[in-house]
């Protein structure tokens, strides 16, 4: 993990702070565009390259699987090379892979380039959380809201533009344009990394006092894992299959893309509100319960009347996944240092996305086996129950380090949990 040297403190008051804000903002914009700008085009791309529902379901599963695997590995990389350098490489890999995906002549290369693009995004998903804590420890709620709002902005803009650009030009242009923002983010991180003092990139000394807590023994961390997994399963199922649910009911492909955009737009409001609630409430479990209710209502609405009240059901789903900004905020709120935050971020997102990756392909197989979306939608509604139970453990006001004891840290890190 990057050693946060004392020389960084005065630098935070200078131009490097601005570079950090810009870098985090640009990274956030790129965290979902490669996914939501792609799934509305699956039928168009499948017709061109010659693949069907099975590969579409696999491509819908790739985001969660890639985010899980490479998110889990990211903390080990950051401990060796530092947060900023890891972000540079992650965004560079994403940009190159998105270009490759846009020019893919066959399904195999399309799948491989998608995995590589999302590998970079998976690593960026993990490092952005401790980067906020490392650079803006006194403004965690503000920093978290900023990057989540921009993440959601990218998430809803991409599907809104995907089909119109593909129809006006080609799906390859529609898919490839998102390499540009990723490349810009890579360049900004590179500039920031080069301007940091040399010792900022030195790996932290491995001492008994700096040893990471045994996160796997923490009920708080496991609560975050399951809550995050259930939210992610819903999120990628919605992004992948809601367009298909609507088209099977008689809606258009454009309606599907618009509804994914509307669903994603709700995340901007959640990103603005939820992190501040999470920093002001001693126990934000009420947020988890409210989200579970909205999720169940949205799924049952799509089950009973997919085209009658579509706007209402999709809005309910958009509110229901507000546990995402809650989880991202709690990772920082329930840890004492950027080092532990990075480890918990990798643990939560790695395992959480890994569990969630069965969602898109599993629900697609259920749809094929049953001939309708009824059973998949009921299954999705049922996931709100374990999510709510896990939320109870995740929201309790205690540090991960308290659940997973380790040798005492210096007094500077033994700060009390803020209550508000």
The CATH number of whichever domain residue 232 belongs to comes to: 1.20.1250.20
pLDDT string in tens for the chain (420-residue length): 343 433 344 444 467 778 888 889 989 988 888 888 887 788 788 888 887 766 776 776 777 777 778 777 877 788 788 888 899 999 999 999 999 999 989 888 988 998 899 889 988 988 888 888 888 877 878 888 888 888 878 877 888 888 889 888 888 999 999 999 999 999 999 988 888 765 454 444 333 344 455 788 899 999 999 999 999 899 888 887 888 899 888 888 778 878 887 887 887 788 888 988 888 898 999 999 999 999 999 999 999 999 989 999 999 999 999 998 999 899 988 888 877 888 888 899 888 888 887 777 788 889 889 989 999 999 999 999 999 999 999 999 998 888 755 544 444 444 444 433
> Which residue range forms the structural domain that includes residue 366?
8-405
In a domain, 317, yes or no: yes
Whose tokens are 């999705």? That residue is 380
| pLDDT on residue 154 | 86
Q: Say how many domains are in the chain.
A: 1
| pLDDT on residue 365 | 84
237 close to 63: Cβ distance less than 8 angstroms:
no
In a domain, 171, yes or no: yes
Whole-angstrom Cα distance, residue 238 to residue 277? 25
User: Which residues are CB-neighbours of 164 under 8 A, at least 6 positions away?
Assistant: none
Length of the chain: 420
In a domain, 216, yes or no: yes
3 state DSSP class of 16? helix
Whole-angstrom Cα distance, residue 117 to residue 280? 36
* Two structure tokens written together for 403: 């659940």
| pLDDT on residue 79 | 79
């Amino acid at each position: 993990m990057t050693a946060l040297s004392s020389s960084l403190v005065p630098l935070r008051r200078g131009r490097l702070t601005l570079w950090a804000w810009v870098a985090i903002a640009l990274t956030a914009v790129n965290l979902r565009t490669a996914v939501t700008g792609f799934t509305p085009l699956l039928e168009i791309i499948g017709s061109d390259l010659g693949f069907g529902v099975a590969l579409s379901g696999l491509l819908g599963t790739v985001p969660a699987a890639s985010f899980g695997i490479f998110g889990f590995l990211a903390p080990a990389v950051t401990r060796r090379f530092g947060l900023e350098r890891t972000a540079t490489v992650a965004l560079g890999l994403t940009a190159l892979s998105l270009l490759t995906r846009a020019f893919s002549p066959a399904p195999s290369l399309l799948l491989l380039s998608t995995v590589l693009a999302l590998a970079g995004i998976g690593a960026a998903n993990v490092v952005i959380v401790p980067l906020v804590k490392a650079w803006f420890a006194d403004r965690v709620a503000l920093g978290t809201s900023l990057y989540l709002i921009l993440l959601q902005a990218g998430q809803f803009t991409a599907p809104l533009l995907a089909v119109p650009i593909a129809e006006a030009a080609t799906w390859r242009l529609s898919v490839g344009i998102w390499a540009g923002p990723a490349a810009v983010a890579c360049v900004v991180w590179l500039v920031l990394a080069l301007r940091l003092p040399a010792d900022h990139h030195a790996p932290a000394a491995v001492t008994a006092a700096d040893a990471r807590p045994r996160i796997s023994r923490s009920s708080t961390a496991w609560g975050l894992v399951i809550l995050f997994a259930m939210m992610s399963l819903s999120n990628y199922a919605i992004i992948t299959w809601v367009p298909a649910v609507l088209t099977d009911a008689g809606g258009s492909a454009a309606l599907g893309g618009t509804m994914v955009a509307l669903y994603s737009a709700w995340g901007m409001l959640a990103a603005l509100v939820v992190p501040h609630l999470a920093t002001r409430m001693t126990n934000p479990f009420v947020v988890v319960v409210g989200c579970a209710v909205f999720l169940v209502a949205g799924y049952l609405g799509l089950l009973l009347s997919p085209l009658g009240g579509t706007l209402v059901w999709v809005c309910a789903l958009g509110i229901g996944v507000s546990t995402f900004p809650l989880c991202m905020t709690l990772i920082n709120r329930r840890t004492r240092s950027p080092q532990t935050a990075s480890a918990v971020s990798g643990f939560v997102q790695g395992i959480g996305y890994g569990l969630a990756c069965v969602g898109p392909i599993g629900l697609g197989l259920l749809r094929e086996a049953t001939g309708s979306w009824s059973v998949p939608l009921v299954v999705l509604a049922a996931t709100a129950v374990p999510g709510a139970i896990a939320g109870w453990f995740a929201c309790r006001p205690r540090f991960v380090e308290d659940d997973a004891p380790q040798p005492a840290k210096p007094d500077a890190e033994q700060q009390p949990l803020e209550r508000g």
